[in-house]
Structure 1
Amino acid sequence: MRVQAFMFYGCALFFLVTDIVYWLWSGDWTGTTALALAVGLAGLIGFYVHFTIRRLEGQNGGPLYEDDPEGNIADAAGELGFFSPHSWWPLFVAIGAAFMVLGAVFGWWLFLLGVAWTLMASIGLVFEYYRGHFSH
């Protein structure tokens, strides 16, 4: 995965050069700012991927399975994490977000109702497996 980090660093460098050329030729602050934000975003993602890879390599004691040219698919087998198989909470979070968007259009009372709904649904989503039948 080290290649992905350098891909994003390359994108940041490309956007930086493009930003400088665009600013010198056009003098437009809007496009220059947008390109500068693209430089920051690509650099931030590259930085995150780069240091996440370094942390994972330290845990595994060597390069990751994706970076081994002689590696097999079975080398990366195992548990990848826990994924909720049947949760209704994302639907309720989406309904709350829809209320917030509609509230920005139709009235602040609906926006505040959407904020409360989203907050309660987010709490339910986060603590879903801490109580009841599915508690650990």
Structure 2
Amino acid sequence: MKPEKYVFWFIFVYICIVTPVYWLMSREIAGTFVLGFTGLLGGMIAAYLTLTARTFGPRPEDRGDAEVVDAAGDVGFFAPKSIWPFWAAVTVSVIFLGPALHQAWISLLGVALGIWSCSGWVLEFYRGDYKH
């Protein structure tokens, strides 16, 4: 994880240098805060990668003597098919449709739909064909 760690530390340091320069040149508050928080996010990711690299040691991708088989194994579990992302997208659309039409009840309907769709997505593998 060394290359990733160095990239994010560079982002952190660079943004920390650029933020005060931006403030001095523009005197604009919103952009200064956005740059500052961007630097903090880069620092958080860099710190996480630094701590994780110490815990796990070098990955096969980071070693020069590694073979392809060293990185073999389970990548993760992926759903074969699911309708729940579609319902989550419909939920977000309905929630944002309320303010667009100046109708709060549509957003409340979207929140109710969101509770249903989020529950279905989270509990997808506890029932049906792909039950664990």
Select the residue among 105, 122, 125 that pairs with 1:129.
125
5+ long unaligned stretches in structure 2: none
CA distance in 1 between counterparts of 2:112 and 2:50 reads 38
Aligned-pair CA distance for 1:125: 0.6
**Residue 5 of structure 1 aligns with which residue?**
5
**Residue 33 of structure 2 aligns with which residue?**
33
1:119 aligns with 2:123: no
1:83 aligns with 2:78: yes
Aligned-pair CA distance for 1:109: 0.9
More off after superposition, 83-92 vs 39-48: 39-48
Aligned to 2:129, the other structure's residue is in SS state helix
Select the residue among 74, 78, 90 that pairs with 2:69.
74
- Amino acid across the alignment from 2:92: A
Report the CA distance shift for 1:53/1:102 in structure 2 as closer, same or farther (over 3 A). Answer: farther
- Amino acid across the alignment from 1:117: L
CA distance in 2 between counterparts of 1:109 and 1:98 reads 14
- TM-score, normalisation: structure 1: 0.87
| Count of equivalent residues | 131
More off after superposition, 37-46 vs 87-96: 37-46
- TM-score, normalisation: structure 2: 0.89
More off after superposition, 110-119 vs 19-28: 19-28
5+ long unaligned stretches in structure 1: none
Aligned to 1:23, the other structure's residue is in SS state helix
Per-residue CA deviation, residues 89-124 of structure 1 (Å, 9 max, x unaligned), is: 111111111111111211111111111111211110
CA distance in 1 between counterparts of 2:130 and 2:28 reads 56
**Residue 15 of structure 1 aligns with which residue?**
15
CA distance in 1 between counterparts of 2:116 and 2:51 reads 34
CA distance in 1 between counterparts of 2:95 and 2:47 reads 33
Report the CA distance shift for 1:54/1:100 in structure 2 as closer, same or farther (over 3 A). Answer: farther
1:98 aligns with 2:93: yes
Report the CA distance shift for 1:130/1:53 in structure 2 as closer, same or farther (over 3 A). Answer: farther
Per-residue CA deviation, residues 7-58 of structure 1 (Å, 9 max, x unaligned), is: 1111011011001112223322222112111111211222233333334x1x
Aligned to 1:92, the other structure's residue is in SS state helix
**Residue 110 of structure 1 aligns with which residue?**
106
CA distance in 2 between counterparts of 1:110 and 1:18 reads 43
